[in-house]
Structure 1
Amino acid sequence: MSAGPVSAPGEVADITTLGRSGVPVTALSFGAAALGNLFAPVTDEAAAEAVHAAWDAGIRYFDTAPHYGLGLSERRLGDALRGRDRDTYTLSTKVGRLLVADGPRGGRDGGCTDGEGFAVPATHRRVWDFSGDGVRRSVEDSLQRLGLDRIDVVYLHDPDDHADQAFREGYPALERLRAEGTVRAIGAGMNQAAMLTRFIRDTDVDAVLCAGRYTLLDQRAGDELLPEATARGKSVVVGGVFNSGLLADPRPGATYDYAPASMDLLDRALRAKAVAERHGVPLRAAALRFPFGRTAVASVLVGARSAAEVADAAAMFATRTPARMWEELRGESVLGADVPVPVEVEQP
């Protein structure tokens, strides 16, 4: 089954809800991995400015995780949001990696010292734990780091190699937390589509977060995940729409899924850029709007480390993408002939 094209959101702040949970999310959402010093340091001031810029742009959905900078992202995001009315925004975090104090290892020179690509001192180690107790402890620890009174959405984070425990223990624990009212919506977040499809089919998740698998260059989530979500009334939050850089700035040496892009992928990205620019649309704008051709997509999650990056994302998202551009992308074989594309309402 394939979902047909739908009207794309008109504005960053357009609101929909995650599945049947009633939890609201904006069409454009803020991914806070960079606030954990992903690949390079970010100052406390720049992190706060990025969150405030997102707020000023109309973004009201913010996503983080303990994994991001060994808790630094959660602390910074909580600090930046603490003065806001808690009923006016949605916050998600993740479970599956507990942070265990390990003593300082590595330097404090801004290098990626934690072993996972985050420029933070390796004062803790990540311990995989999708047990029921581990899920509860992770949520409690996240609440302390955030300094907020609740978390709206909790995702099982990257359970790729821990499927048995995640389905047998972790997911039921999330169900109990939702039933108790501790969290309002539950799901899973991964860089693949197959296991997320299983979550949609076999559990009562409200939403899943799929990174890098529904983009102009990779539509694997369109095979089963997105049609299943549509059929079952579930939502999909799409992340990684730039495929780690190639669709933001296609050039030799650009990365795709955090590795150097192949010549074939670079060629497709350059063709997509040429088509978009012939229609006066930056490639980044086309990449941000593309997922909304699917009815199940509730929000596109974009990471940012500065106010300038937030402003760019908001401007790109607001850029209109004409139907003729999408037709030409199909004609250039960037997109398949049957891939749904956004249909935008013409402005009067």
Structure 2
Amino acid sequence: MSTPPTPSGLGFGAAVIANLYTEVPEQQAHEAVSAAWERGIRYYDTAPHYGLGLSERRLGAALREHPREEYLISTKVGRRLEPSAAGGDDLAHGFAVPATHRRVWDFTEDGVRRTLDASLERLGLDRVDMVYLHDPDDHAEQAFREGYPALEKLRAEGVVGAIGAGMNQAGMLTRFVRDTDVDVVLCAGRYTLLDQSAATELLPAALAKGTSVVVGGAFNSGLLADPKPGATYNYTEAPTELLDRALRMKAVAERHGIGLRAAALAFCAAHPAVTSVLVGARSATEVHDSADQFATPVPEAFWQELRETGLLKEPA
């Protein structure tokens, strides 16, 4: 049995190039992926949910210029796309694209296979390196009983290399790590400078089991990227208490000669269970900035001051 692929370092989250909140021109999206490649990024994450397939189409087209064996790509199952004649746009789900399809929650074996087949077609690939069950929060029974075994079969057939689950919570991901044979989990927003809930059980369990952890949402949807009034935290306006904490962290970072974004990325990457940190970018400029921030050394004195001032409870 071959060793499942393991994502490493900085990864490219392809939700943003699928017109997340606002339109991203085709060429700009292509340039963002090209810039990621230029900066040595070799792990790319997408999903049918992102722009009703637009993310997969754009990512597949941009990566076609590069040797397939030189990069890892992951997509997701659980939200099957069905054609829709409803019209309008998809902004209710966060994407500035025409509502040509509707999402259907489906973690059955048939649904998993049909969803993956459609993803492969949009990507222009015959295989993907990793597949995640996407946000099965309200569908736990079906995800564990049907969706996960379907992924096991696909892995055994060689259609996918590694299998796992991707969620914005740590509790159910911990169950996946402990109770199944997943290779990797994607945890978004639950291991950051502002929220270390994944450190209680998920990360220790993954470390003990040898399961890779990919961290997404390092900036908690914006607050840690640029803390200011009106900044978002977990996709809604940040509470005053968290905004104040982020601003205090930013001040500490600046005293130590670094940016808060560099500290946020370094925090996520520092845990031994974490193999990769995903960052979304809508332009080549944003990609280069993220790569620069990720490569910035963060002095130990910065972490020490965060701990001494009570701004960081969980040691990095």
Deviations 1:157-192 (A, max 9, x none): 000000000000000000000011110000000000
For 1:215, the equivalent position in structure 2 comes to: 192
In structure 2, the CA distance between the partners of 1:104 and 1:43, relative to structure 1 (3 Å rule), is: farther
2:70 matched to 1:88?
yes
Q: Taking structure 2 as the reference length, what is the TM-score of the superposition?
A: 0.98
Q: Name the structure with the higher helix share.
A: 2
For 1:264, the equivalent position in structure 2 comes to: 241
Secondary structure of the 1:237 match is strand
Secondary structure of the 2:97 match is coil
CA contact (8 A) 1:271 1:332 kept: no
Identity of matched residues, %: 67
1:294 to 249, 252, 271: 271
Q: Taking structure 1 as the reference length, what is the TM-score of the superposition?
A: 0.89
CA distance in 2, matches of 1:170, 1:22: 19
2:35 to 28, 53, 62: 53
1:340 Cα shift? Answer: 3.3
Deviations 1:95-121 (A, max 9, x none): 001100012601xxxxx5352010000
CA distance in 2, matches of 1:156, 1:124: 20
CA distance in 2, matches of 1:42, 1:298: 29
1:260 Cα shift? Answer: 0.7
CA contact (8 A) 2:307 2:315 kept: no
CA distance in 2, matches of 1:170, 1:247: 34
CA distance in 2, matches of 1:80, 1:216: 32
| Equivalent residue letter for 1:61 | Y
Deviations 1:76-111 (A, max 9, x none): 0000001211000000000001100012601xxxxx
2:281 matched to 1:281?
no
Deviations 1:143-163 (A, max 9, x none): 000012211100000000000
1:334 Cα shift? Answer: 1.3
For 2:117, the equivalent position in structure 1 comes to: 140
CA distance in 2, matches of 1:321, 1:28: 16
Secondary structure of the 1:38 match is coil
Secondary structure of the 1:170 match is helix
RMSD: 1.1
For 1:119, the equivalent position in structure 2 comes to: 96
Deviating beyond 2 angstroms after TM superposition, the runs of 4 or more aligned structure 1 residues are 112-115
| Equivalent residue letter for 1:50 | A
Secondary structure of the 1:105 match is coil
1:292 Cα shift? Answer: 2.5
CA distance in 1, matches of 2:169, 2:138: 12
CA distance in 2, matches of 1:193, 1:21: 25
For 1:205, the equivalent position in structure 2 comes to: 182
Q: Which ranges in structure 1 are unaligned for 5 or more consecutive residues?
A: 1-19, 107-111, 342-348
Secondary structure of the 2:115 match is helix
